Amino acid sequence: MRIIADKYIPYLSGLLEQYADVLYAEPESVTPALVRDADCLIVRTRTRCDRQLLEGSRVRLILTATIGYDHIDTDYCREAGIAWHNAPGCNADGVCDYVESALLATGTLLQGSVLGIVGVGEVGGRVCRMARERGMRVLLCDPPRAEREGAEPFVSIEDLARKSDVITLHPALSRTGKYPSWHLIDEALLRRTKPTALIINAARGGVVDEQALIRSGRRCVIDCWENEPHINPDMLCYADYATCHIAGYTRWGKYRATDICLRELTRFFDISPIRIPKEQVPEHCSTVFDLTPLSEELKAKPQLFELLRKNYRLR
């Protein structure tokens, strides 16, 4: 068996070699030629897994050590008989810490303020609990969940926009389907928000129409960007705080992502369980942190977006 793995996925090196020929690669070097003879890919969001990469290969399984999976062409994978798995919830605690840190950094008055949460999955659920513990009132918007579970306790995105002092975004990114999230925060919706509203995007870049956000004059904290790593310089200058897509970058989150990938790999290929050594398992703890130095560095060196992300010291 041959496995191609992103070299920046921690806790992975040395665990698979007893079962496979493993190549740890730079994301940019993952090409059709490289994956042609691979049985499994273990990637992050920087590797686009689509027909262009996979056609003609013998890849049978794609594992992504991330919550998001919009970098995987799931329709093509289904057509080609390629299984795939993401790591749901792996970095939820880290993103929740980021949102809390953003609230504190912006001087938001928490007690009694209204926090609107768009997307109430693993991350949104944790943010909801954190906000209520902080004395905030919470509005929840998740149309797919509302359809499955009933209208209560959810509100429409329009009601959330009108009533929220802070809107934090946590949906999966989708361009199609019944509830697409691409440019969900657009000019029309922003006009409905309070002039003093704060927008936090620690989900996916495409959830926000960045030019519309700039025109709206609404305050914002941005961790996820359209066209990463070639981010919008106007958005960068405009944001109260700007970071290089590291909201979920914690040691615990990375451990959880790798562990989930290992479990799915051993199940799929029917091999003995592979465990990360206990001495490498990080402590699981909440970490509120200062966004200021991260934001200042990115604003000073936007051309280093990818390097800053790769070299980010895990919390």
188's enclosing H/E stretch is helix 187-192
**Protein fold of 2-86+251-280:** Rossmann fold (3.40.50)
Give the DSSP per-residue string, 9-75.
-TT-TTTSTTTSEEEEE-GGG--HHHHTT-SEEEE-TTS-BSHHHHTTS---EEEESSS--TTB-HH
Q: What pLDDT, on a 0 to 100 scale, did the predictor assign at position 145? A: 96
| Homologous superfamily of domain range 92-247+289-310 | NAD(P)-binding Rossmann-like Domain (3.40.50.720)
pLDDT-derived band at 137 (thresholds 50, 70, 90) equals very high
Q: Using alpha carbons, select from 98, 100, 69 the residue that is nearest to residue 82.
A: 69
Compute the average pLDDT of residues 287-307.
Answer: 97
Kindly calculate the radius of gyration of the chain based on its CA atoms and give it in whole angstroms. Answer: 20
Q: Using alpha carbons, select from 287, 315, 304, 297 the residue that is nearest to residue 104.
A: 287
* Sheet containing 219-222, strands listed edge to edge, beginning at the edge strand earlier in sequence: 137-141, 114-118, 166-169, 198-201, 219-222, 241-242
* Average pLDDT of the residues of the chain: 97
Q: What pLDDT, on a 0 to 100 scale, did the predictor assign at position 280? A: 96
Asked if residue 192 has pLDDT above 90, the reply is yes
Q: How far is CA 9 from CA 51, 160, 263, 295, in A?
A: 24, 37, 15, 24
Say if 2-86+251-280 and 92-247+289-310 have the same CATH topology: yes
Residues involved in catalysis: 204, 228, 245
Task: Give per-residue pLDDT as tens, 142-159.
Answer: 999 999 999 899 999 999
Question: Residue ranges of the domains in the chain?
Answer: 2-86+251-280, 92-247+289-310
Instruction: Tell me whether strands 61-64 and 83-85 are parallel, antiparallel or unpaired.
Output: parallel
Task: Give per-residue pLDDT as tens, 53-85.
Answer: 999 999 999 999 999 999 999 999 999 999 999
Percent of the chain with pLDDT over 90: 98
Q: What pLDDT, on a 0 to 100 scale, did the predictor assign at position 286? A: 84
Task: Give per-residue pLDDT as tens, 84-129.
Answer: 999 999 999 999 999 999 999 999 999 999 999 999 999 999 999 9
Could you give the CA distance from residue 21 to residue 34 in angstroms, rounded to a whole number? 13
pLDDT-derived band at 285 (thresholds 50, 70, 90) equals confident
Compute the average pLDDT of residues 26-30.
Answer: 95
Asked if residue 18 has pLDDT above 90, the reply is yes
Rounded to 5 degrees, what are φ and ψ at 261?
A: -60, -45
Sign of CA dihedral 145, 49, 65, 222: negative
Is 140 within 8 Å of 161 (Cβ atoms)?
no
